[in-house]
Amino acid sequence: MREITYLEAVREAMSQEMRKNDDVFILGEDIGVYGGAFGVTRGMIEEFGPERIRNTPISEAAIAGGAVGAALTGMRPILELQFSDFITIAMDQIVNQAAKLRYMYGGKGSVPMVLRTPAGSGTGAAAQHSQSLEAWVAHIPGLKVVQPSTAYDAKGLLKAAIDDENPVIFYEHKLLYKTKGDVPEEQYSIPIGKADIKREGKDVTVVATSIMVHKALEAAEELEKEGIDVEVIDPRTLVPLDEETIVNSVKKTGRLIVVHEAVKRGGFGGEIASVIAESEAFDYLDSPIKRLGGLPIPIPYNPNLEKAAVPQVPDIIDAVKETVRFK
């Protein structure tokens, strides 16, 4: 299989679908000749033209609401929100409109749209451009929430998201854009709601999301040298969450660590930890569940500080050792 980057995988998923389905189009800031802030749509306006690759004014509320209105009336818009931090401006349209219209209308209408947006720190863009706010949308009934960690997953999940009849918030991680992986050329779909065991192991389950999947895998390799066998599970989608895969893993390993980049306090890790603690897996737990997440601070600018603000490989290694050592 061919290797392409995560960024190319996202672009390919969109391009292939747009070739087949005239209802799909993209709107967003600077997605035309500029190619978007991270270059994801580069080249697309040349192929699809400005009607389907719609450069918008800097008006996050209107473009989000515009996508909702277009979706409600028969289009399948993909909204590129330039940085996921800017969802703060589009929040009403996403949460009070997109997520709720169908329910409020008593089951009429649907809002088949995808909001794609880059999240996370590590680029030196500081506090207003580096957040991981997926916990907000995961809290809102009516939305689905996807966080691919690999090029392969990105392509397959984006296809599924575009095909979904509901609003899907699709988080891309800035630092993953340039990572490469094997990706089939043809279209394929990864079901939304299916976790992936990225590494099998028997001593401890690490549930990691987005970029933390890679850090967990790195940690696992280190730990293997010390004879600790880590299972790494990537939920891939937070809503719906594949509880079954995680429960089964914990029943096997008896230990659970949850890692995300988002601030730990109030992050989705609390949800995952609690769901497992409330499940049949509770009886199998040999040590307390551990959560790793960002510090309770805005993301700082200085690169050393920035790195120290979110979990890194050594933090995961330490957490695993502590968990495995318990009792």
Partner 1 sequence: MEKTLTLPSHITTEKLKDLYKQMWLIRYFDEKVDQFFAKGMIHGTTHLCVGQEASAAGAIAALQDKDKITSTHRGHGHCIAKGAETDRMMAELFGRETGYCKGKGGSMHIADLEKGNLGANGIVGGGIPLAVGAALTSKMKKEGYVVLCFFGDGASNEGSFHESLNLASVWDLPVVFVCENNQYGMSGPVKEMVNIENIAERAGSYGIPGKAVDGNDMVEIINTVYDAVENARSGNGPSLIEMKTYRWKGHSKSDAKKYRTREEEKEWREKDPIQRFKEVLIEEDILTEEQAKNLQEEAKQEIDDAVKFAENSPEPSTDTLLEDVYA
Ligand X SMILES: Cc1ncc(C[n+]2csc(CCOP(=O)(O)OP(=O)(O)O)c2C)c(N)n1
Cα dihedral angle (292, 272, 322, 226), rounded to 10 degrees? Answer: -90
Supply the minimum distance, in Å, between the C-beta of residue 317 and partner 1: 18
Secondary structure class of 116 (helix, strand, coil)? strand
Burial degree of 296 (CB within 10 A; 0-12, 13-18, 19+): exposed
266 binds, among a second copy, ligand X, partner 1, none (CB under 5 to 8 A by kind): a second copy
Positions 53 through 82 that interact with ligand X (CB under 6 A): 58, 60, 82
Per CB under 8 A, does 296 bind a second copy? yes
Rounded to the nearest 10 degrees, how much is the dihedral formed by the CA atoms of 311, 133, 155, 291?
40
CB closer to ligand X, 152 vs 171: 171
Q: How far is the CB of 63 from a second copy (least distance, A)?
A: 15
Q: Is 65 in the site for partner 1 (CB under 8 A)?
A: yes
Q: Per the structure block, which two tokens stand in for 59?
A: 């008006």
Under DSSP, is residue 90 helix (H, G, I), strand (E, B) or coil?
helix
Please indicate whether residue 260 is annotated as part of the active site.
no
Residue 268 binding partner per list ligand X, a second copy, partner 1, none, with a CB distance cut-off of 5 to 8 Å that depends on partner kind: a second copy
- Cβ distance 114 to 106 under 8 Å? no
Instruction: Tell me if 89 contacts ligand X by CB under 6 A.
Output: yes
What does the alpha-carbon distance between residue 67 and residue 308 come to, in Å, rounded to a whole number?
Answer: 37
Shortest Å, Cβ 81 to ligand X: 9
Per CB under 8 A, the list member of 3, 19, 61, 265 interacting with partner 1 is 61
- Among 74, 186, 283, 325, the residue binding partner 1 under the rule CB under 8 A is 74
Cβ(231)–Cβ(199) below 8 Å: yes
Q: Is 62 in the site for a second copy (CB under 8 A)?
A: no
Q: How far is CA 237 from CA 147, 178, 291, 314, in A?
A: 6, 21, 18, 26
The residue range among 17-25, 38-46, 127-135, 225-233 that interacts with a second copy, by the rule CB under 8 A, is 127-135
Radius of gyration of the chain (CA): 19
Q: Which of residues 140-199 bind partner 1 (CB under 8 A)?
A: 141-142, 144, 165-166
For position 265 contacting a second copy by CB under 8 A, the verdict is: yes
Question: Considering the complex, what minimum distance in angstroms separates the CB of residue 100 from ligand X?
Answer: 14
136 forms part of the interface with a second copy (CB under 8 A)? yes
Cα distance between the two ends of the chain: 46
CB of 92 to ligand X, least distance (A): 7
Which of residues 126 and 313 has its CB atom nearest to partner 1 in the complex? 126
Give the shortest CB-53-to-ligand X separation in angstroms.
16
CB atoms within 10 A of CB 74: 8
Residue 113 CA to residue 126 CA, distance in Å, equals 29
In whole angstroms, give the CA distance from residue 218 to residue 223. Answer: 9
Taking CB under 8 A as the rule, does residue 273 contact a second copy? yes
90, 64 Cβ separation under 8 angstroms:
yes
Binding test (CB under 6 A) with ligand X, winner from 8, 29, 80, 153: 29
**Which listed residue (129, 173, 214, 260) is catalytic?**
129
Partner from a second copy, ligand X, partner 1, none contacting 271, C-beta within 5 to 8 A by type? a second copy
The residues annotated with a catalytic role in the active site are 129
Binding residues for ligand X, rule: CB under 6 A, are 29, 58, 60, 82, 86, 89
